[in-house]
């Protein structure tokens, strides 16, 4: 079952049919015959944030959010951490629309953010509306850029869609089915099986089109912006003061995904995570200590904003 809202009904059916195998996407409840799985975008949102911080001219970046559940808050915060790494005085402004799919509300939110000075948009909402709005502004001579979400969206905004997040559910399904067929998974041993796959497993991809991590229209501009930091790659290579294009590629490598120029190579290792401290929230409270890396449970229950987000009050 492929929606968080189906978690409890799936568990009920699994308990009614102990001789059948069940899998649920994005939930946390399991049973001996029911496992869970998820392809998480937060690392890719962080990479999008690096680019957004480099490309904004107003230092105001907008985010259209479906619902402010922990998954979406995690994505927004990861995006904002990327923005801050490149542009420390940039802000990310959040508008919640209260629906996973509502092109009208997504349009209204995007236009409202643009009217307030936002010139780069990201979103978690299941339509290409935000990208389309940015393209419409571009065609009127106004610079508004966007990042896609979930599906290839370059065709909706060829002049404005910088990058985005793409999902490869087939990678997870292939692993699950292979292990069912081999007998590794059965109706008695799924209680603790929880796929939480990210870049290094190949379940998510950077880009607003497959096999194109960054729209070529923006590569030179990203190369013109440098960041004062030192990056060490897993092989020991040191990069001093990288430009943002180099930084994105280096962070990909550090998180287990290598772009070769024509395809992806995945290394099942992570030496960097966006949620590594010190991280402060929007109230000035230290949420993640220096050197600490947030784990699964903290990320999956996240209900606080990082300090460069301006958004509705949260419960955490």
Lowest mean pLDDT among 36-45, 173-182, 264-273, 285-294: 264-273
Report all structural domains of the chain as residue ranges with CATH numbers, in order of start.
Answer: 4-38+169-201 (3.40.50.2300), 42-167+203-266 (3.40.50.2300)
Sheet order of strands, 120-124 included? 204-206, 161-167, 145-150, 120-124, 60-65, 91-96, 309-310
Summarize pLDDT for 201-212 with one digit per residue, the tens: 999 999 999 999
Q: How far is CA 202 from CA 27, 76, 135, 199, 296, in A?
A: 20, 21, 30, 5, 18
The Cβ-side half-sphere exposure at 160, using a 13 Å CA radius, reads 27
CB 196 within 8 A of CB 172: no
pLDDT tier for residue 43 given thresholds of 50, 70 and 90: very high
Which are the contacts of 301, defined by CB distance < 8 A and separation ≥ 6?
Answer: 70, 316
Q: What is the pLDDT of residue 246?
A: 97
What tokens does 241 get?
A: 């003061």
DSSP states of 89-146 as a string?
T-EEEEEE-S-SS-HHHHHHHHHHHHHTT--EEEEESSSSHHHHHHHHHHHTT---EE
Q: What percent of the chain has pLDDT over 70?
A: 100
Summarize pLDDT for 114-162 with one digit per residue, the tens: 999 999 999 999 999 999 999 999 999 999 999 999 999 999 999 999 9
Q: What is the pLDDT of residue 269?
A: 84
Provide the sign of the torsion angle of the four alpha carbons 39, 45, 51, 56, taken in this order: positive
Q: What is the pLDDT of residue 3?
A: 85
Is residue 315 scored above 90 in pLDDT?
no
Q: What is the pLDDT of residue 285?
A: 97
Mean pLDDT of all residues in the chain? 96
Q: What is the pLDDT of residue 4?
A: 84
Phi, psi of 277 (to 5 degrees): -75, 165
Give burial (CB, 10 Å; 0-12/13-18/19+) of 62.
buried
User: Looking at residues 273-283, what average pLDDT do you find?
Assistant: 97
Summarize pLDDT for 48-98 with one digit per residue, the tens: 999 999 999 999 999 999 999 999 999 999 999 999 999 999 999 999 999
What tokens does 8 get?
A: 């409890």
User: Looking at residues 20-42, what average pLDDT do you find?
Assistant: 96
pLDDT tier for residue 289 given thresholds of 50, 70 and 90: very high
Summarize pLDDT for 234-272 with one digit per residue, the tens: 999 999 999 999 999 999 999 999 999 999 999 878 999
- Torsion, Cα of 111, 116, 121, 123 (10° steps): -70
- Could you give the CA distance from residue 170 to residue 228 in angstroms, rounded to a whole number? 39
């Amino acid at each position: 079952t492929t929606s968080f809202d189906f978690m409890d009904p799936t568990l009920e059916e699994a308990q009614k049919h102990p001789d059948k195998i069940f899998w649920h996407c994005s939930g946390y409840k399991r049973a001996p015959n029911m496992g869970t799985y998820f392809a998480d975008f937060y690392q890719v949102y962080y990479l999008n944030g690096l680019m957004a911080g480099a490309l904004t001219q107003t230092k105001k970046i907008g985010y259209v959010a479906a619902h402010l559940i922990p998954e979406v808050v995690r994505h927004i915060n990861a995006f904002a951490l990327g923005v801050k790494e490149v542009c420390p005085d940039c802000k990310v402004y959040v508008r919640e629309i209260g629906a996973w799919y509502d092109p009208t509300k997504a349009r209204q939110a995007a236009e409202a953010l643009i009217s307030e000075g936002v010139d780069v948009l990201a979103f978690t909402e299941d339509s290409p509306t935000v990208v389309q709005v940015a393209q419409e502004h571009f065609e009127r001579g106004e610079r508004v850029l966007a990042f896609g979400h979930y599906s290839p969206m370059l065709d909706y905004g060829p002049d404005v869609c910088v990058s985005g997040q793409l999902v490869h559910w087939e990678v997870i399904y292939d692993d699950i089915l292979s292990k069912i067929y081999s007998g590794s998974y059965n109706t008695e041993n799924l209680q603790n099986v929880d796929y939480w796959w990210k870049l290094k497993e190949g379940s998510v991809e950077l880009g607003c089109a497959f096999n194109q991590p960054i729209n070529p229209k923006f590569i030179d501009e990203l190369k013109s912006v440098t960041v004062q930091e030192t990056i060490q790659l897993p092989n020991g290579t040191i990069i001093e003061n990288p430009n943002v294009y180099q930084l994105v590629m280096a962070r990909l490598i550090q998180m287990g995904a290598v772009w070769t120029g024509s395809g992806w190579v995945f290394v099942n290792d992570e030496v960097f995570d966006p949620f590594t401290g010190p991280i402060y929230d929007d109230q000035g409270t230290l949420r993640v200590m220096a050197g600490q890396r947030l784990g699964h449970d903290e990320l999956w229950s996240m209900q606080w904003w990082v300090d460069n987000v301006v958004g509705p009050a949260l419960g955490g």
